[in-house]
Structure 1
Amino acid sequence: MEIQRHGIILNVEYFDECVAFYRDLFGLPILFSKTEGDFKLTCLEYGETYLMIETEGVANTSGKSIAENATKLRFNVADIESALRSVCDYGIDAHIESNPWGAVINIVDPDGNRVGIRD
Structure 2
Amino acid sequence: MTDTSTPPVLQLRVVVETEDFDAAVAFYRDALGMPEFFAFADGDGADDDRVAILDAGRATLELASPGHKRAIDAIEADGRESPRIRLAFEVTDATGTTRRLADVGARVVAEPVETPWRSLNSRLDAPGDLQITLFEELLDSHERAALEGFDTDASRTRDPGA
The TM-score normalised by the length of structure 2 is 0.52
Q: Contact conserved, 2:38 with 2:54, CA < 8 A, in 1?
A: yes
Give the secondary-structure state (helix, strand or coil) at the position aligned to 2:54: strand
Give the secondary-structure state (helix, strand or coil) at the position aligned to 1:10: coil
Give the secondary-structure state (helix, strand or coil) at the position aligned to 1:9: coil
Give the Cα separation in 2 of the matches to 1:93 and 1:7.
Answer: 25
CA-CA distance at 1:44 after TM superposition: 0.7
1:8-55 deviation per Cα after TM superposition (whole angstroms, max 9, x unaligned): 111222211111110012111111211234322111111035xxxxxx
Give the Cα separation in 2 of the matches to 1:11 and 1:91.
Answer: 18
Larger proportion of helix: 2
Give the Cα separation in 2 of the matches to 1:2 and 1:100.
Answer: 33
Count residues with an aligned counterpart.
101
Q: Contact conserved, 2:87 with 2:131, CA < 8 A, in 1?
A: yes
CA-CA distance at 1:74 after TM superposition: 0.7
Indicate the residue corresponding to 2:69 in structure 1.
none
- AA aligned to 1:42 is A
Give the Cα separation in 2 of the matches to 1:88 and 1:5.
Answer: 29
- AA aligned to 1:40 is R
* Match of residue 71, structure 1, among 73, 77, 85: 85
Matched, 1:43 2:53: yes
Indicate the residue corresponding to 1:55 in structure 2.
none
* Match of residue 105, structure 1, among 113, 122, 125: 122
Deviates more, 1:37-46 or 1:1-10: 1-10
Provide the aligned C-alpha RMSD in A: 2.4
Give the Cα separation in 1 of the matches to 2:11 and 2:107.
Answer: 34
- AA aligned to 2:50 is K
Give the Cα separation in 1 of the matches to 2:14 and 2:122.
Answer: 21
Structure 2 unaligned segments of length 5 or more: list them.
1-6, 60-81, 137-162
Percent same amino acid at aligned positions? 26
Give the Cα separation in 1 of the matches to 2:133 and 2:123.
Answer: 5
Tell me which of the two structures has the higher relative contact order, counting C-alpha pairs closer than 8 angstroms and 6 or more residues apart: 1
Greater gyration radius: 2
Indicate the residue corresponding to 2:31 in structure 1.
25
Q: Contact conserved, 2:16 with 2:128, CA < 8 A, in 1?
A: no
CA-CA distance at 1:92 after TM superposition: 4.0
1:74-94 deviation per Cα after TM superposition (whole angstroms, max 9, x unaligned): 111233233233234435453
The TM-score normalised by the length of structure 1 is 0.67
Larger proportion of strand: 1
